[in-house]
A and B are shown apart, each in its own frame.
Chain A
Amino acid sequence: MDSKISEAAARTPLASSATTGLKIVIVGGFGVGKTTMVRSVSEIRPLSTEETLTRAGQDIDDPRGVEWKSTTTVAFDFGRISLNPEMVLYLFGAPGQERFWFLWDRLFTGTLGAVVMVDTRRLADSWYAIDRLEHHRMPFVVAHNRFGETTHTLDQIREALDLSPDVPLVSCDARQRDSSKAVLITLVNHLYALSSAR
C-alpha cells in the first residue's frame, strides 16, 4: 500500500456537477492483479480505506462503545472514473477472504456488478468468491489475468471453475488500460443483457 506524502495536494476533486456515484467490485486473491486493474483505468492513484468488523460475542452491557474495543479490519483499494459530468464510477479492489464477505451487506449493497479475477495457481480462492457472489445474487464476469501465462485455455479455466455457460469469461492483461477497460465493458454488457431480459 502506498504511503501518503501529500494527501491534500494529491487529491483530484470531482466536477461540481457530479451527482451520482456507482460502484463495481473487483474480487480476487492476493497478487492476482486487482489493484493493477484499478490503477490502469482509474483517473486517480488508487486509494485505500479500511472498515472495522465487530467480533462476535461483544459485551453489550459495557457502556463504553464496546464495538470499537474488539474489532478487526478489512482493507480495500479503490479508484474512480468520471463517466460523464454527473456520474462517477468507483472501482473497488477487494480481497475475497472470508472476513470480507461479512462486510458485503454493509458496504457493497447496490453494487452494479463484480469482476472475479482468477489466478490459475489458486483456483480455490475463485471458487469461494463465485460462491459468495451467487449467494448475494450479485451478477459477475470472470477475468483471467494472464501475465504472460498461456498454459491454460479459457475452456480449461471454465471447466475447472465449473462456470455456468451464462457467465462471461475473458482473458486480460490488467496492466493494460484497454484490456482492463474491455473487462469492464464485458461486465456492463452482461448486466445490460440481464437487466433487459427481465
Chain B
Amino acid sequence: MAPRLEDENPDRLYMVTGGRSNVADDGLNLVTLIVSECDPTPGMQSEHVRILRMCTSPTAVVEIASELRLPVSVVRILLCDLLDTGRITARNPRPAPAESRLPDPDVLRQVLVGLENL
C-alpha cells in the first residue's frame, strides 16, 4: 500500500512543483483529456516523463493524478509546464461554465444513448 497523501512530506510536494502552489485559470478540469505531443527527453523531471508516457492515448487529468499519486492541484501545475512548452495538448479546454448553467440538451441526449447502450 502506497503512503497516503495525508502522510506525504510537504517538502516533496514543494520539490515536485518548484515551490509553486497556484496556477492561473488554465482551462483544465478533472476530466479534461490530455494528449502527449512528443516523447520524453533526457534530463526531464520524472513526473513530466510519466505524464508524457501515460498520455500517448488521451488521459483525463484525474487519472493522471491518481496514477502519479499526487494531489490534483499539483498535477495541474505539472501539466501547465508541459502545455506551455507544447509538449502536451488539452482536448476541448474550456473555461468552467457559470455555476448555474444547465448542460446542453444535445449533450444530454448523447449521454442518454450511451448509458442505455451499457
Please, how many angstroms separate the alpha-carbon atoms of A135 and B60 in the complex? 28
Please give the distance in Å from B51's CB to the nearest CB on chain A: 13
Query: How many of chain B's residues touch chain A, expressed as a range?
Result: 35 or more
B108–A23 touching, CB < 8 Å: no
CB under 8 Å from chain B, chain A span 43-100:
47-52, 64-69, 71-73, 78, 80-84, 87-90, 92
Please give the distance in Å from A15's CB to the nearest CB on chain B: 8
A191: CB under 8 A from chain B? yes
A154: CB under 8 A from chain B? no
With A14-B58, A50-B71 known to touch, is A67 a contact of B21 (CB < 8 Å)? yes
Chain A residue numbers with a CB within 8 Å of B44 are none
B43: CB under 8 A from chain A? no
Stretch from A26-34, A144-152, A160-168, A180-188 at the B interface: A180-188
Stretch from A3-11, A114-122, A124-132 at the B interface: A3-11
B102–A52 touching, CB < 8 Å: no
Most buried by A among B32, B33, B58, B94: B58
User: Which of B60, B66, B71, B97 meets A73, CB within 8 Å?
Assistant: B71
Query: DSSP majority for the A interface?
Result: mixed
CB under 8 Å from chain A, chain B span 1-23:
1-2, 4-6, 10, 13-14, 17, 19-22
With both beta carbons as reference points, the residue of chain A lying nearest to B18 in the complex is identified as A65
B111–A194 touching, CB < 8 Å: no
With both beta carbons as reference points, the residue of chain A lying nearest to B57 in the complex is identified as A13
B63: CB under 8 A from chain A? yes
Please give the distance in Å from A31's CB to the nearest CB on chain B: 19
Please, how many angstroms separate the alpha-carbon atoms of A80 and B13 in the complex? 28
Chain B residue numbers with a CB within 8 Å of A72 are 6
Please, how many angstroms separate the alpha-carbon atoms of A19 and B67 in the complex? 20
Chain B residue numbers with a CB within 8 Å of A18 are 33, 58, 91
B111–A89 touching, CB < 8 Å: yes
B24: CB under 8 A from chain A? no
User: Which of A7, A49, A84, A181 meets B110, CB within 8 Å?
Assistant: A84
Please, how many angstroms separate the alpha-carbon atoms of A28 and B114 in the complex? 25
With A19-B92, A68-B10 known to touch, is A50 a contact of B99 (CB < 8 Å)? no
Residues of B within 8 A of A (CB): 1-2, 4-6, 10, 13-14, 17, 19-22, 29-33, 54, 57-60, 62-63, 65-67, 71-74, 91-92, 94, 96-97, 99-100, 102-105, 107-116, 118
Q: Which are the 9 A-B pairs with shortest beta-carbon distances? A: A83-B114, A21-B31, A67-B21, A13-B57, A65-B19, A49-B66, A109-B96, A68-B13, A47-B66
A-B contact pairs, 29 of them (CB 8 A): A3-B2, A14-B33, A15-B58, A18-B58, A18-B91, A19-B92, A20-B91, A21-B30, A21-B31, A22-B111, A47-B63, A49-B71, A50-B5, A50-B72, A52-B74, A64-B14, A67-B22, A72-B6, A73-B71, A78-B62, A78-B66, A83-B111, A87-B110, A92-B30, A109-B29, A191-B103, A192-B112, A194-B102, A198-B102
